Amino acid sequence: MALSELLDILCCPDSGEHLQLTDTGLASSAVDYPVVDKNLACLYSNPSVTRFQWGSKIKHFFDSEREHLKQMQQLAQTCSLASTRKRISLQHEARHKNLALMQKMLSAWIPDKALPVAQSSQQIYSYFELLFRDWCWGDELRPYIDYCVSALGAQHCERVLVLGSGAGGLSYHLANALAQSRLISIEHNPFLALASHHIMQGKLLKIHDYSLYPTELAGSSTKWEIKQAPLQHENHVQLLATYPKLPLLEKSVDAIIAPWFFDILDIPFDAALQACTRFLKPKGKLVFMGPANVHKPHYDEQYCSDEIRELLCQQFATVDLTQQSLTYLDNPTASQRRLESVAFAVAAEPIYSEYSRETSMPKDLVYTPELNQYKLKTATIHQILACIDQSISVNELADLLVSRFGFEAHESSHYAAAFIAEIQSGIKQG
Ligand SMILES: C[S@@+](CC[C@H](N)C(=O)[O-])C[C@H]1O[C@@H](n2cnc3c(N)ncnc32)[C@H](O)[C@@H]1O
């Protein structure tokens, strides 16, 4: 599906302003949103800053992976057991080839100068195994596909949003099964987004699955060649975007599918759940699929399925929740299998509430989407401040953003003014 078919519902994730098509992608009056691969638009909030932050994570991962590879190469030559040398050299070869693939795919993302990486569950290598689960290992997605098709297939859902689409397997099968719907997949990890985008176009992806603890040498690594038939209908588009700051207008989609998503975000589960309602039309549906027990560090967030049902009932007029016991990330070469109780729920007719941004200030520091955003912004501002040791004008800072941090020249003034305003307001508040 062409991006132009989405123009009526796409907006700037920060200001809500409608976007226009340009020669290089999409744009609001102040910010460009480039297309980074055929039809894959980069619609992050503050896209240049977010790309820079992802670029820093990628650079750190590449540097540390190169270090690991060096050590492995040495061990593959010096270990006393011949079978240990064999195991390590198989693992080394797999990781070396995966690194080469990632370097090729992500070459445009690497900044000259990287930020220190903030602690986060979301790194570039997170969820790498989804590629094998979705496209290689077996049919683990079947119960999820069937549940979504039975929840959405019978009625006409024009626009269906898939949150955290990962390696893209579920979106691919649903786009084929729901011919009348138009699917929008949202993923923030550039490697997973680019890899799934590549596969869904019917292109070949060669990737290596390796095991750190194989039960026999042959299980140390497996080479996969992923090649799928292209999608049957022109009804799918993938966007690089970060939930909950999505580039979509309020009340613009008929259904949202959230598979294994709300529980893994760096924001509270209930806030994540609530944030999706504003994108749904009044008769819209949420298809929730994920663990029946939420693993979070705080006692009051370790929800079981009854609490998940109650939370859904606070946000939707009708809720139907069931549970199934299913294997999860079931790698056929692994020595242990993970069995999960999975909650499947359809919740319909959102009860809209004010977005929690405006609520009064709590005493504790609550981990909200805004706090997470603030953390990332602060790290970026520190990096910029480190380069400033005398007065600087907007134009001079704009030049610095271009030369040191790789910002695009034509939008650097917008970001420079925004950073200066942010720094001045920080100084004012002491
Ligand atoms: C646990 S995985 C689930 C993937 C897939 N939905 C599935 O069911 O297997 C979570 C996915 O959400 C993505 N993700 C995490 N935080 C996100 C955010 N704030 N915005 C968009 N995607 C995000 C991750 O990169 C990952 O692909």
* Residue 190 within any structural domain of the chain: yes
Residue 41 lies in a domain: no
| pLDDT for the residue numbered 279 | 98
Q: Is residue 211 part of a domain?
A: yes
DSSP conformation letters of 350-384: E-----GGGSPPPSS----HHHHHHHHHHHHHHHH
Q: What whole-number distance in Å separates Cα of residue 130 and Cα of residue 330?
A: 10
pLDDT digits (tens, 9 = 90+) for 367-405: 666 677 677 778 788 888 888 888 898 999 989 888 888
CATH of residue 250: 3.40.50.150
Of 312, 328, 358, at which residue does a domain stop?
358
Whether 37 is covered by a domain: the verdict is: no
96 and 146 inside one domain: no
Expressed in angstroms, the distance from the first to the final Cα of the chain is 49
Claim to verify: residue 219 and residue 344 sit in the same structural domain: yes
Pocket of ligand 1 (CB under 6 A): 122, 127, 130, 164-166, 186-189, 192, 242-243, 259-261, 264-265
Which of ligand 1's atoms lies nearest the C-alpha of 126? Answer: 25
Paired strand residues for 183: 160, 236
Which of 147, 124, 2, 105 has the alpha carbon at shortest distance from 58? 124
Kindly state whether residue 52 falls inside one of the protein's structural domains.
yes
Instruction: Identify whether 340 is part of a domain.
Output: yes
Same domain, 265 and 406: no
334 within some domain: yes
Can you give the pLDDT at residue 210?
Answer: 94
The answer, yes or no, to whether residue 355 has pLDDT greater than 90, is no
Query: Ligand 1 centre and the CA of 89: distance in Å?
Result: 32
CA 217 to chain centre: 34
Q: Which residues contact 297 (CB under 8 A, 6 or more apart)?
A: none
Ligand 1 centroid to Cα of residue 401, in Å, is 30
Same domain for 271 and 166: yes
Q: Say if residue 275 is in the same domain as residue 403.
A: no
Tens digit of each residue's pLDDT (9 = 90 or more) over 134-148 = 999 999 999 999 999
Cα(417) to centroid(ligand 1), Å:
32
Nearest CA to ligand 1 atom 4: 166
pLDDT at 423 over 90: no
Same domain, 52 and 140: no
Do residues 204 and 137 both lie within one domain? Answer: yes
Q: What is the pLDDT of residue 368?
A: 66
How far is CA 315 from each of CA 87, 202, 270, 306, 312, rounded to the nearest angstrom? Answer: 51, 39, 10, 15, 5
Strand partners, 35: 41
User: Is omega for the bond preceding 47 within 30 degrees of 0, making it cis?
Assistant: no
Total count of domains within the chain: 4
Query: Is 380 found in the same domain as 250?
Result: no
125 within a domain of the structure (yes/no): no
Which pLDDT value is given to residue 430?
Answer: 63
Clarify whether residues 28 and 175 are in a common domain: no
| One domain for residues 257 and 142 | yes
pLDDT value at 64 more than 70: yes
Residue range of the domain that includes 392: 369-428
Dig out the tokens for 65 from the structure: 């992976």
Helix axes 409-428, 47-78, angle to 10 degrees: 100
Query: Whose C-alpha lies nearest to ligand 1, atom 25?
Result: 189
> Do 134 and 212 fall within a single domain?
yes
CB 333 within 8 A of CB 221: no
Sheet holding 339-350, edge to edge: 20-21, 25-27, 32-37, 40-42, 236-240, 182-187, 159-163, 253-259, 280-291, 339-350, 316-327
Ligand 1 pocket test, pick from 42, 127, 128, 137 with the greatest ligand atom count within 8 Å of Cβ, gives 127
Q: Say whether both 161 and 254 belong to one domain.
A: yes
* Among candidate residues 324, 358, 392, the one where a domain is terminated: 358
Q: State residue 392 phi and psi, 5-degree precision.
A: -145, 140
